[in-house]
Amino acid sequence: MRLAVFVSGNGSNLQCIIDAIDNKLLNDISIGLVIADRECFAIERAKKSNIKYLMINRKSIDFTTIDSELIKEKISHIVLAGFLSILDKSFCEAWKNKIINLHPSLLPKYGGKGMYGIKVHQAVIDHKEKESGATIHYVIAGVDEGEILLQEKCNVDENETASSLQNKIHVIEKEILIESLKILYAKA
Ligand code: GRF
């Protein structure tokens, strides 16, 4: 399985995949390409690990070019790891069941357009939820709507803040990310 990882931010989930490959927690899986839609620290992580990367312009994403880059790099699966741009419908259809996304809530709750980063956790706190978590799902054209592959829950404690919840979920999302890649590999 040869992955492309799409990023927009810190890239801690990209790093988690890199580390799992290096530590042989993931076998026969490699990262062939990192695609970033903006300047971000994730690119530094790709450079440090000698992974080829591509910067795209998020204001005018050319999915035909992305598609041909993916084919050129023999990519079999795509991981959206904190990628903030929305994928085009025909691109999602062409890569059906081959793209997964990581979302920091228990979807279908607190997903959809505009629900990213700290906003997700703030909404969970504002609604006085007792639990939250992370979800890995297949990507379809509707934002955060594809079939769920794995979910992991955590408690929302009494004095929880959006930021403490975010830190908690940053830990659990990495566990299910690696597990999801094993599931995808088994299905490939
Ligand atoms: C993660 O919280 C993930 O759930 C969300 O975006 C964040 C990305 O973090 N989709 P990082 O860039 O991988 O550190």
Angle at CA of residue 59, ends 81 and 18, nearest 5°: 20
The pairing of strands 99-103 and 77-80 is: parallel
Closest ligand 1 atom, CA of 13?
13
Residue 103 is among the residues annotated as catalytic for this protein: yes
The pair of structure tokens assigned to 44 is 């530094």
Q: Whose CA is nearest to atom 1 of ligand 1?
A: 82
Answering whether pTM is above 0.85, one says yes
Catalytic residue among 77, 103, 121, 137: 103
DSSP secondary-structure letter at 169? H
- % the chain with pLDDT above 90: 97
- Dist CA 39 CA 46 (whole Å): 12
| 149 CA from centroid of ligand 1 (Å) | 17
| 22 CA from centroid of ligand 1 (Å) | 21
- Per DSSP, the three-state class of 134 is strand
Task: Note the pLDDT tens digit of each residue in 121-147.
Answer: 999 999 999 999 999 999 999 888 999
Closest ligand 1 atom, CA of 104?
4
Task: Note the pLDDT tens digit of each residue in 163-176.
Answer: 999 999 999 999 99
| 13 CA from centroid of ligand 1 (Å) | 6
Q: How many residues comprise the chain?
A: 188
pLDDT at position 142 is 84
pLDDT at position 144 is 87
Closest ligand 1 atom, CA of 80?
10
- For all residues of the chain together, what is the average pLDDT? 96
- 93 by Cβ neighbours in 10 Å (0-12 / 13-18 / 19+) ranks as exposed
| 155 CA from centroid of ligand 1 (Å) | 19
Task: Note the pLDDT tens digit of each residue in 43-102.
Answer: 999 999 999 999 999 999 999 999 999 999 999 999 999 999 999 999 999 999 999 999
pLDDT at position 143 is 87
Per DSSP, helices labelled H in the chain are 12-22, 41-48, 63-72, 89-94, 118-126, 162-187
User: What residue ranges line ligand 1, CB within 6 angstroms?
Assistant: 9-13, 42, 81-82, 102-104, 170, 173
